[in-house]
């Protein structure tokens, strides 16, 4: 869902260049999670990003998480608890609301 939204924005403003889609995707991941605690796709599926330690998710966690999700590899590597490498590095969890 997030990639589709990023693609639509990139096609509207940047003629759909692959690098533009990737950049828009990363920016959306970072900004929307910082502001709302979930990406557009997370909202649609009833999920949210929370820190492992109690408190707000802050700014650095979503930025690190977005950077890692944007390069895709960490998102497809997960542990026995089904936590992606991007969440482990950022110290976050994806949970149901």
Tell me the per-residue pLDDT of 45-80, one tens digit each, with 9 for 90 and over: 999 999 999 989 999 999 999 999 999 888 889 998
The pTM is what? 0.89
10: containing domain: 2-96
Q: Is 78 exposed, middle or buried (0-12, 13-18, 19+ CB in 10 A)?
A: middle
For residues 19-30, average pLDDT:
96
- Split into its structural domains, the chain has a count of 1
């Amino acid at each position: 869902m997030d990639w589709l939204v990023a693609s639509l924005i990139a096609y509207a403003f940047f003629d759909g260049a692959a690098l533009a889609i990737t950049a828009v995707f990363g920016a959306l991941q970072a900004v929307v999670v910082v502001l709302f605690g979930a990406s557009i796709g997370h909202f649609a599926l009833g999920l949210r990003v929370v820190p492992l330690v109690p408190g707000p998710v802050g700014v650095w966690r979503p930025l690190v998480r977005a950077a890692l999700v944007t390069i895709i590899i960490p998102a497809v590597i997960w542990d026995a608890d089904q936590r992606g490498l991007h969440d482990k590095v950022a110290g976050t969890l994806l949970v149901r609301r």
